[in-house]
Amino acid sequence: MLVALVGIGKIALDQHVPAIAGSPDWELAATVSRHGSVEGVEAWDDFTAMLEARPDIRVVSLCLPPVPRFAYAAEAIRAGRHVMLEKPPGATLSECHALQDMAREMRVSLFATWHSREADKVDAARGWLSDKTLRRLTVTWKEDVRRWHPGQAWIWEPGGLGVFDPGINALSIVTKILPKPIHLSGAVLKFPENRQTPIAADLAFAHPDGAEVTADFDWRQEGDQIWTIEAETEAGTLVLSDGGARMTVDGAEAGTEEDAPLSGEYPRLYAAMARLVRDGASDVDLAPMRHVADAFTLGRREIVAPFEE
Amino acid sequence: MLVALVGIGKIALDQHVPAIAGSPDWELAATVSRHGSVEGVEAWDDFTAMLEARPDIRVVSLCLPPVPRFAYAAEAIRAGRHVMLEKPPGATLSECHALQDMAREMRVSLFATWHSREADKVDAARGWLSDKTLRRLTVTWKEDVRRWHPGQAWIWEPGGLGVFDPGINALSIVTKILPKPIHLSGAVLKFPENRQTPIAADLAFAHPDGAEVTADFDWRQEGDQIWTIEAETEAGTLVLSDGGARMTVDGAEAGTEEDAPLSGEYPRLYAAMARLVRDGASDVDLAPMRHVADAFTLGRREIVAPFEE
C-alpha cells in the first residue's frame, strides 16, 4: 500500500521511515513537510495539493505535534483517506471523538497509535497479569528532557503536555496490561516557573480491588534513564523495564520470543495499520489520553524552578 | 418510587428536596449526610448501613461534591441501585467511564444530570438552531462567586473546577443546542495566586463550518449577573439568557410555553430519571466534562490576583 508521511521531524526519520522501508505491506509514496524530506521520495509542502494530485495514496500517517494535527487528520478523512495518528492522537479529547465520528461516516480506517504498547514484552506482561491479583503497581518514568527533546519548543507550550509526552507512553502500557480499569484519585503537577507544561508529575490511581497504583514522571533525570513498571501480585512481582523491552518475574528474565514475532514498535504499528485497512476497521483507544486530561483537571499545581534548555 | 438523597447541602435543599416533594413519581425515603437532614425524613450518616437496611430504596441521588462522589456511586451500583449524579458526574472522566461499565454490568440505570439543559428555553433553542447555519456563538457566563458559592472551599481545591463549576452548565447547554460538535482550539485559564482552580477562563472552539465559537467565564462579576448564549446565524440571532430561562430571536421573545411542559430544571431531571428507571436505560453524556478537561489540558495558565472570600 502507498502511504504519505506528514511532518518530517525526529520521530518520522528515526522511526516511521525505517519501519515503512522494512515492511512488505508499505511503500512511502510522498512526504509532506515545510522543512524535512526523505531522499528519493516525492516531497510536498502543501497537504491539500498532495491529496488532490495523488488520489492513489489511500493512507496518510501523521507525525506532526498534537496541536496542528487535527486539521490535517480532518482534511485527510474528508478526502476519503485512511489515517494513522502518532501519539497522543490529538490536542483535545473532543477533537479525537470528532475524528472518530468523521472516520465512521467516511468509512475509512482511523488508527490512534500507542507505540509503547508494541514494545517487545508488553503482550507477555499482559498475559502474565491477566489471571493474577494485583497488590501494587508502581510506574517510574524518569528521563532527561534535554537528551530526548532537544529544541522541541512545542512540548512546553499549552497542549504540548510536558512530562506527560513520555508519561502517556507509560499510561498506554499500563492501560493495556492491567485487566481492570483504574482512575486517577490524585496528582501533583510540577510546573517550571517559566513554562506552561509540567516537568514532573506524581499520580495516584484508584483500583477496583484496592491495589496501590502510582506513577512518578520526571523529566529532570540525569544519569541512568528509567522507564519501569513494577507490578506486585499475590503470585510474584513482574518488572517491565526499558520502556517494555525487558521483563522479569521475581528477578528472572521472562517473556519468550514467541510473544514478539515482528521486531520493533513501529514495524508492529505499521503491520497493525495494514490489517485495519484490509479489515475496514478502526482502533482508537483514548484511555491513556483521558488519564492525562484527568491529571490536568484534578492535579494540584506546584511551581518549581525555571527550566532553561 | 423511593429515592435516597446523599449529600444534604445547598443544592440538595434548594433544588432536589422540593423537586422530589413536588413529583408524582418520587418519594424521599432517606437522606445520607454527615451534617444535613430533611425534616420528617429518615436520616442516615452511614451510606453502607442505609443500603443494607433499606433494600426497598432502589434509587440513589448523589449531591456530594465531585471528588468524593465516585466511591458512593460505585457502592450504590454494586448494591444494585439506580444512580442519579449531580453535575459534573465525577472528578475524572475515567471514573465516569468506569461507572458506565459498572452500571451496564449490574443492569441499573445511571443518569449523569446536567440541570441547565432542562432550563425552560433550551429545547426551543435547540429546535430553532437545528436547521440554521451558525456564524458565531458567544457564551458569556459571569457571576459573583461570593454570592453563589459562599463557604464552598472545595470549589477552590484540585478537582473543584473553579469557574468551570458554573461554566460547565453553559457547556452543557451549548453541546445540547448545537447540531454539530465543537472542540476546544485554545484557552486562557486565570488562576488566583493563592488558589488551585481558575477564577476566570476564555475559551475558543473550532466548529466544523468555521463558525466563531467562544466562551467567557468569570467569577469576579459584581452587579448584574450574566448567563447568556448568543448564536448568530444566517437567518437571525438567537439569544438565550438567564441561564436558558429566556430566549429571543432578533430581539423578540421566542420559545413558546409548549416547549416546556414541566416547570423547572430539577423537576424535569427527576421526571427523566423516572423514565430511565422504567425503561431500564441510562443517560451519560460526558461531552461537557470533556470540554472542561480539554481546557485544563490545553489552556494557557495565567496567574492573577489572590482571591479571599
Question: Mean pLDDT over residues B12-18, rounded?
Answer: 97
Question: Which chain B residue is nearest to residue A301, measuring alpha carbons?
Answer: B196
Q: CB–CB of A159 and B298 under 8 A?
A: yes
The count of residues in chain A is 309
pLDDT tens digits, B225-252? 999 999 999 999 999 999 999 999 999 9
* Cell numbers representing residue A1 in the block: 500500500
Helices (H), chain B: 10-11, 17-21, 47-53, 66-78, 93-106, 122-129, 145-148, 164-177, 265-279, 287-298
Residue A66 has pLDDT above 90, yes or no: no
Statement to judge: residues B134 and B39 lie in one domain: no
B300 and B207 in one domain? yes
Are residues B233 and B130 located together in one domain of the fold? yes
Which helix (DSSP H) or strand (DSSP E) does residue B134 occupy?
strand B134-142
Of the residues A58, A85, A112, the one at which a domain ends:
A112
Task: Give the pLDDT confidence score for residue A223 in this predicted structure.
Answer: 94
Q: What is the ipTM of this complex?
A: 0.94
Give chain A's mean pLDDT: 96
Residue A261 has pLDDT above 70, yes or no: no
Is residue B242, in this structure, part of any structural domain at all?
yes
Residues B175 and B293: their CA atoms lie apart, in Å, by 15
Rounded to a whole number, what is the distance in Å from the CA of A309 to chain B's nearest CA? 20
A100 Cβ under 8 Å from any chain B Cβ: no
Instruction: Mark A182-214 as b/e (b = at least 16 C-beta within 10 Å).
Output: bbbbbbbbbbbeebbbbbbbbbebbbeeebebe
Please give the model's pTM, rounded to 2 decimal places. Answer: 0.95
Q: How far is CA B61 from CA A276, B2, B92, in A?
A: 43, 11, 19
Domain-ending residue, one of A89, A112, A135: A112
| CB of B206 less than 8 A from some CB of A | yes
pLDDT at residue B258 greater than cutoff 70: no
Give the minimum alpha-carbon distance from B140 to chain A in angstroms, rounded to a whole number: 21
Q: Is A219 found in the same domain as A81?
A: no
What's the whole-number mean pLDDT along residues A44-61?
Answer: 98
The reported pLDDT for the residue numbered A255 is 83
Do residue A155 and residue A178 come from a single domain? yes
* A207 domain-assigned: yes
Does A92 contact B183 at a Cβ distance shorter than 8 Å? Answer: yes
Residues A105 and A125 in one domain: no
Q: Count the residues in chain B.
A: 309
In a domain, B154, yes or no: yes
Out of A57, A82, A112, pick the residue that ends a domain: A112
**Quick count: other Cβ atoms within 10 Å of Cβ B231?**
25
Write down the pLDDT at residue A264.
92
How distant is the Cα of B299 from the closest Cα of chain A, in angstroms?
A: 6
Task: Name the catalytic one among A10, A87, A121, A190.
Answer: A87
Total domains in chain B come to: 2
Residue A267: per-residue pLDDT: 97
pLDDT digits (tens, 9 = 90+) for B111-161: 999 999 999 999 999 999 999 999 999 999 999 999 999 888 989 999 999
Q: Half-sphere exposure of B298 toward its Cβ, with a 13 Å CA cutoff? A: 27
SS3 state at A42:
coil
- Structural domain boundaries, residue B52: 2-112
Is residue B138 left, alpha or beta, with left meaning phi > 0 and alpha meaning psi from -120 to 50? beta
Whether pLDDT at A260 is above 70: no
Distance from CA of A71 to the nearest CA of B (A): 10
Question: Is A285 domain-assigned?
Answer: no
Nearest CA in chain B to A188: B158
CATH code of the domain in which B145 resides: 3.30.360.10
Q: Residue A222, class by beta-carbon neighbours within 10 Å (0-12 exposed, 13-18 middle, 19+ buried)?
A: exposed
- Is residue A279 included in any domain, yes or no? no
Cell of B97: 467511564
Q: Is residue A129 part of a domain?
A: yes
Question: What's the pLDDT tens digit per position in B265-292?
Answer: 999 999 999 999 999 999 999 999 999 9
Instruction: Note whether A287 contacts B94, CB cutoff 8 Å.
Output: yes
In this structure, the answer to whether residues B62 and B134 fall within a common structural domain is: no
Give chain A positions within 8 Å (CB) of B158: 186-187, 298-301
**Is residue A283 a part of any domain in this protein?**
no
Residue of A69, A77, A94 to mutate, testing the B interface (most B Cβ within 10 Å of its Cβ): A94
Residue A93 touches chain B, beta carbons under 8 Å: yes
Chain A residues with CB inside 8 Å of B97's CB? 181, 183, 290
Task: Say whether both B241 and B140 belong to one domain.
Answer: yes
The Cα–Cα gap between B12 and B36 comes to 10
- Does residue A213 have a pLDDT over 90? yes
Would an 8 Å CB–CB cutoff place B291 in contact with chain A? yes
Query: Is A121 an annotated catalytic residue?
Result: no
What CATH number corresponds to the domain at position B74?
Answer: 3.40.50.720
In this prediction, residues A12-29 reach a mean pLDDT of 97
Residue B259 in this model has a pLDDT that exceeds 60: no
How far apart are alpha carbons B182 and B138 in whole angstroms? Answer: 13
In this structure, are A175 and A93 located in the same domain? Answer: no
Spatial distance between the Cα atoms of B15 and B18, rounded to a whole number of angstroms: 6
Nearest to B293 among A191, A196, A293 (CB): A293
CA distances from A90 to A10, A70, A159, A245 (A): 18, 6, 9, 26
Sign of CA dihedral A118, A119, A124, A127: negative
Domain identity same for A67 and A156: no
Q: Which residues in chain B touch residue A184, judged by CB atoms under 8 angstroms apart?
A: 92, 94-95
- For chain B, percent of residues with pLDDT exceeding 70: 98
Q: Which residues contact A180 (CB under 8 A, 6 or more apart)?
A: A134, A207, A208, A209
Nearest to A162 by CA among A114, A115, A219: A219
Spatial separation of the C-alpha atoms in residues B69 and B51, rounded to whole Å: 16
Does residue B93 share a domain with residue B182?
no
Q: Is residue A163 part of a domain?
A: yes
Are the beta carbons of A291 and B191 separated by less than 8 Å?
A: no
Question: A147 and A218: one domain?
Answer: yes
